[in-house]
Amino acid sequence: MSVDFIGLIATQDGSESVPATTALIDPAYTARIARAHEDSGFDQVLIGYSSAYPDGAQVAAYAAAHTTTLKYLVAHRPGFVAPTLAARTFATLDHFTGGRVTLNIITGGHDVEQRRDGDYLTKDDRYARTGEYLSVLRQAWTSDSPFSFEGRFYRFEDFVSQVRPVHGTIPLYFSGSSAAAYATGVQHADVHMFWGEPLAQIEEQISAVRAAADAAGRPYPRFSVSFRPILGPTEELAWERAHSILGRIGAVSAPRFFRNRDRDNPANVGSRRLLAAAAGGDRHDRALWTATARASGAAGNSTALVGTPDTVARALLDYYDLGVTTFLIRGYDPLDDAVDYGRELIPSVRAEVARRDAERLVVAAG
């Protein structure tokens, strides 16, 4: 069972613990960090979404022009453009990148952030709208004859697109840890994404998504978990670096993308789950460290895996054993960490997964 690695790129350097030194849109840095991920063996990179940040589709187009194999997981919020337009936009981008586009559907967990773009729907209504949106998106990519749609949020007649994705459709990645997220995700998503929680909690979420899929009569999606690996040549040096990073979180003027909008009372369930894990202790399982999530108010994927490349690889494989086949890993030092992950961490995990697959084939043949 193969494993995929996703990184994260932005048009500006910096993170929660490292101040930005480039302009908000720095073409040279954007190309450099994209190439670094490709050279390091990543399958894809996420391009995040913020009401204040550059448009992800255009960032993907630029970065793809400077790489050859790397795929681009573009974060996209339903509700701000018509799904028929989005279908054409991403199918067009898919062609110009040679079939290297995937979509991360962000329903939106922060009311304040949604309202910055003019969205005043409640969270439950946003999930209902997302369901309609994705139904239209899929049909627009696959229908070869005009179709009409009349729902609660969208209505149109006789639509047909002449531009289709390179491979017939575009994979959809979905996130969310609420019952509404599970119910919507299993109807449409190829991959359900979680932030990095302790093993028992990830196993619990996987079971909940599978139960929702069973109830809906849908196949199980694949699963992804996101972490912030902090590596060192020894355990002691890895933890020394981890505490140095922790001390800088909140002490630098982080780019707006990395700031928690409601850190004292996060609206989204995912952030609340990370803070609950942190309240139960800083260290969990083999290498999971939640102190960084607490320090940042659980702004996005903010939990770390700390240790040598071997320790962190084995920690990732613990999640693989639960059924996780995709890992989104990004560092607190974004560019340098991407390079470091490619030296030992990614090859180590891939080698062990290949060894297990070969062993299973031998057992099956015997």
Rg of the chain (C-alpha set): 20
Which tokens sit at 92? 């067009």
Nearest residue to 45 via CA among 111, 119, 114, 102: 102
Nearest residue to 250 via CA among 335, 336, 332, 340: 332
CA–CA gap between residue 16 and residue 36 (Å, rounded): 20
For residue 329, the cross-strand partners are: 227
Contact status, residue 91 vs residue 141, Cβ threshold 8 Å: yes
Residue corresponding to tokens 């573009």: 74
Q: In this structure, how many other beta carbons lie within 10 angstroms of the beta carbon of residue 177?
A: 23
Q: What is residue 42's predicted lDDT score, i.e. its pLDDT?
A: 98
Q: Provide the terminal-to-terminal Cα distance of the chain, rounded to the nearest Å.
A: 19
Contact status, residue 271 vs residue 298, Cβ threshold 8 Å: yes
CA–CA gap between residue 364 and residue 366 (Å, rounded): 5
Q: What is residue 252's predicted lDDT score, i.e. its pLDDT?
A: 59
| Residues in CB range of 364: below 8 A, 6 or more apart | none
Q: What is residue 124's predicted lDDT score, i.e. its pLDDT?
A: 85
Q: Divide the 366 residues of the chain into consecutive groups of 10 and give the mean pLDDT of each group.
A: 95 94 97 98 96 94 98 95 97 98 88 73 88 97 96 96 97 92 95 97 97 97 98 98 94 50 65 88 96 89 96 98 98 97 97 93 82
> How buried is residue 215: exposed, middle or buried, by Cβ count under 10 Å (0-12/13-18/19+)?
exposed
Q: What is residue 257's predicted lDDT score, i.e. its pLDDT?
A: 44
To the nearest 10°, the Cα dihedral for 345, 349, 350, 352? 140
Contact status, residue 190 vs residue 218, Cβ threshold 8 Å: no
What is the residue-wise DSSP string for 52-68?
TS--HHHHHHHHHTT-S
For residue 283, the cross-strand partners are: 289
Q: In this structure, how many other beta carbons lie within 10 angstroms of the beta carbon of residue 99?
A: 12
